[in-house]
Amino acid sequence: MRIVSVIGARPQFIKAAVVSRALRQRHSEVLVHTGQHYDANMSAIFFDELDIPSPDVNLEVGSGPHGEQTGAMLAGIEGVLLREHPAWALVYGDTNSTLAGALAAAKLGIPVAHVEAGLRSFNRAMPEEINRVVADHLSTLLFCPSQTAVNNLAAEGITRGVHLVGDVMADALAFAAERAQRRSTVLARLGIAGQGYLLATVHRAENTDDPSRLGQILGALDALEEPVLFPVHPRTRKAIEALGYRPAPQVRLLDPVGYLDMVRLEQSARMILTDSGGVQKEAYWLGVPCVTLRNETEWVETVQAGWNVLVGADASRIVRTVGSFVRPALRPVVYGEGEAAARVCMHLSLDQDSIAGGSRSNGSG
Ligand code: UD1
Ligand code: UDP
């Protein structure tokens, strides 16, 4: 069976690493990199560290406004799909690369399988929310990380083709956790080994594109009394420079780091401050308290368990929460235990058989 997988942004490389490894044991995969992320430390480093096969096609679409970027991806992906005639188009998460992959395939009548389906923030101002909703409604197979995601789809009338498989990022972390401890030298490089610190990441449009929210977040980091390590996403780097921000001495702005270094930094952090989806989950899995710099989250189970607190972009609330966080006694298993990629592969094979047998034309509804 031939599968065209479409990826393009940092978290998709991490998700695809584990699924690709499982897929290629039985099937032929054509890996398409849209080129949405392209800096070496936003793209190539993940392929190298996680043994992801080199992309068969790189569309080199690059950055741009949503319509322009997504449109260029659509045209490029369509060409690949017409050439390859895959049994499935496999898309991940909620980026513009996800949207373009799902839309290009659906228009050609190629069934779409969506990994990380059913997530909702119920905030349509987020570009990711638009991408997810459209991708889910175009998908034949919907791989959900949580029961909440399954329920969200049911509320939109999508019940067919929905599978609760767990989160492929849990598989990725299981693969990387021990490797990171063994191989990553980041703590020594930063001279922080054995010291307490906070780890921060910020990249959501709602925070970077709003100088007032970004100013509040940076003000909070400056007001914290512990060292803060802050690997800065290129989008955020631009926004920070535009603000003319000069960090307080305990705040260290770093370039984006590779996955193994990131996992190592997460493992040793006293607490994590982030607006990233993936980082919220990794904090939970690693047992590190998380303060989420957003007003809502898709990963509600981490909040319900008491390990994640939503603080928005209010400087005093951020500082107060970092100072008063009480670690819960329990950390229930959420989003599976590292078997999601194998389940994705199993369903791709089984459901292809049923499509070939004519029992299904579309999984939605
Ligand atoms: C994208 C996704 C977001 C995801 C994030 C993961 C969309 C709409 N957003 O956001 O859901 O959480 O990736 O990191 O798809 N840039 C560079 N070098 C790069 C990549 C980006 O300099 O290699 C800069 C460019 O100025 C670009 C900006 O970052 O305009 C934003 O990049 P883009 O891919 O459009 O969105 P992200 O904010 O990365
Ligand atoms: N990550 C990384 N290096 C960094 C920042 C993040 O490897 O400098 C990893 C992080 O551990 C997680 C993923 O990137 O696995 C999350 O991606 P991001 O925060 O860019 O996007 P989101 O998950 O919010 O879509």
Q: What is the pLDDT of residues 132-186, one digit of tens each?
A: 999 999 999 999 999 999 999 999 999 999 999 999 999 999 999 999 999 999 9
276, 297, 298, best to mutate for ligand 2 pocket (most atoms within 8 Å of CB): 276
Residue closest to 133 by CA, chosen among 104, 158, 170: 158
Q: Which amino acid is at 52?
A: I
Tell how far the Cα of 160 is from the centroid of ligand 2, in angstroms: 31
Q: What is the pLDDT of residues 206-233, one digit of tens each?
A: 999 999 999 999 999 999 999 999 999 9
Q: Who lines ligand 1 at CB under 6 A?
A: 9-11, 36-39, 42, 63, 94-96, 127-128, 203, 234-235, 238
* 208, 245 contact by CB (below 8 A): no
CA dihedral 133, 135, 138, 143 (to 10 degrees): -100
Residue identifier of the C-alpha nearest atom 14 of ligand 1: 10
Tens digits of pLDDT across the chain (365 residues): 999 999 999 999 999 999 999 999 999 999 999 999 999 999 999 999 999 999 999 999 999 999 999 999 999 999 999 999 999 999 999 999 999 999 999 999 999 999 999 999 999 999 999 999 999 999 999 999 999 999 999 999 999 999 999 999 999 999 999 999 999 999 999 999 889 999 999 999 999 999 999 999 999 999 999 999 999 999 999 999 999 999 999 999 999 999 999 999 999 999 999 999 999 999 999 999 999 999 999 999 999 999 999 999 999 999 999 999 999 999 999 999 889 999 999 999 988 766 665 444 443 33
* 73, 139 contact by CB (below 8 A): no
The DSSP H or E segment spanning 235 is helix 234-243
Alpha-carbon gap, residue 63 to 68, rounded angstroms: 9
Q: What 3-state class would DSSP assign to 2?
A: strand
User: Is 137 annotated as catalytic?
Assistant: no
Tell how far the Cα of 9 is from the centroid of ligand 1, in angstroms: 7
Tell how far the Cα of 235 is from the centroid of ligand 1, in angstroms: 6
The residues with which 100 forms a beta bridge, in sequence order, are: none
Alpha-carbon gap, residue 4 to 145, rounded angstroms: 21
Alpha-carbon gap, residue 269 to 265, rounded angstroms: 6
Alpha-carbon gap, residue 216 to 225, rounded angstroms: 16
